[in-house]
Chain A
């Protein structure tokens, strides 16, 4: 059986991908909102986002809302496909024909 994507399987990255996957393809989520949803620290979230960005699974945009700096994150098309495959592989592991393996 194919191994699910190790990059996504890490617990914090799994939460990030799951959260971003609920949004529409052109919808961005603010860093602070994602931190609240994932329930982790700024540094930890930033490090995992960098890993996902290096794999081209997420896109990160830094701009200003008025005078306040703002970081926003969006799932890329490649990330959405990878996450879909990852979830399909998890379901495959739990499929009845694989329960004896």
Chain B
């Protein structure tokens, strides 16, 4: 006996729900790898900034270049069937960098400590917005990043870069491991 119209509609709704869950699952998996990558690079960048304070620009340029190369490689291999994944990935990362550069220009002179807050707080906001729209776990990632980064900015003394390494890079790595387990 064929299902009723209500049962057919319910089955189609269930299919749609599962498809959305799979998309979310794949999105978390993709994001997890990127978070771990950029988390580790940010830790290296922050520790490098603490040890070689006179070379902030080359240190962070190196971090960005290595991150872009590895990030694109990982994006292509983790989502080979997504058309235009390279260009979309580059657009996201370069938009964040452009935002950072523009704020530096507008508010110049900006101290290294102030400048180091731009990217983590901007990225935290992006995650909270993404979380509110579709993937709730991103709200926790963004909120944790924003709170810990601000605490480092406000209360860390001479060891500021080390605290930022933990609050920024550490949050990324831990969040990546968390998303990977979902």
Query: Which A residues are within 8 Å of any B CB, using their own CB?
Result: 1-4, 9, 11, 14-15, 18-19, 22-24, 33, 36-38, 87, 89-91, 93-94, 99
Task: Tell me the complex Cα distance, A87–B11, Å.
Answer: 9
Is there contact, CB below 8 Å, between A90 and B12? yes
Interface string of B96-137 (1 = CB under 8 A from A): 000000000000000000000000000000000000000000
Is there contact, CB below 8 Å, between A36 and B182? yes
Q: In this complex, what residue of B is CB-closest to A39?
A: B21
Task: Tell me the complex Cα distance, A87–B16, Å.
Answer: 11
Chain B residue contacts of A18, Cβ below 8 A: 14-15, 18-19
Taking A2-B2, A3-B2, A4-B3 as contacts, is the C-beta distance between A37 and B22 under 8 angstroms?
yes
Q: How many residues of B contact A (CB 8 A)?
A: 19
**A37 → chain B closest CB, angstroms:** 5
Which 7 pairs between the two chains have the least Cβ-Cβ distance? A18-B18, A93-B8, A18-B15, A90-B8, A3-B2, A22-B22, A15-B18
Q: How many A-B residue pairs have CB under 8 A?
A: 57
Chain B residue contacts of A24, Cβ below 8 A: 81
Task: Tell me the complex Cα distance, A87–B1, Å.
Answer: 16
Secondary structure dominating the interface of B: helix
**B81 → chain A closest CB, angstroms:** 6
Is there contact, CB below 8 Å, between A36 and B25? yes
Task: Tell me the complex Cα distance, A33–B14, Å.
Answer: 18
The answer to whether the Cβ of B5 comes within 8 Å of any Cβ in the partner chain is yes
The answer to whether the Cβ of B9 comes within 8 Å of any Cβ in the partner chain is yes
Task: Tell me the complex Cα distance, A1–B4, Å.
Answer: 12
**A82 → chain B closest CB, angstroms:** 14
Q: In this complex, what residue of A is CB-closest to B4?
A: A93
Taking A18-B14, A18-B15 as contacts, is the C-beta distance between A93 and B2 under 8 angstroms?
yes
Taking A1-B2, A37-B21, A93-B3 as contacts, is the C-beta distance between A15 and B8 under 8 angstroms?
no
Chain A residue contacts of B1, Cβ below 8 A: 3
Chain B residue contacts of A9, Cβ below 8 A: 3, 11
Which residue of the partner chain, among A2, A33, A89, contacts B25 with CB atoms under 8 Å?
A: A33
Is there contact, CB below 8 Å, between A4 and B12? no
Is there contact, CB below 8 Å, between A99 and B5? yes
Chain A residue contacts of B5, Cβ below 8 A: 93-94, 99
Is there contact, CB below 8 Å, between B2 and A4? yes
Is there contact, CB below 8 Å, between A90 and B11? yes
Q: Could you jot down 15 A-B contacts, CB within 8 Å?
A: A3-B2, A4-B2, A4-B3, A11-B14, A15-B18, A18-B15, A18-B18, A19-B18, A22-B18, A37-B21, A37-B25, A87-B12, A91-B12, A93-B5, A93-B8
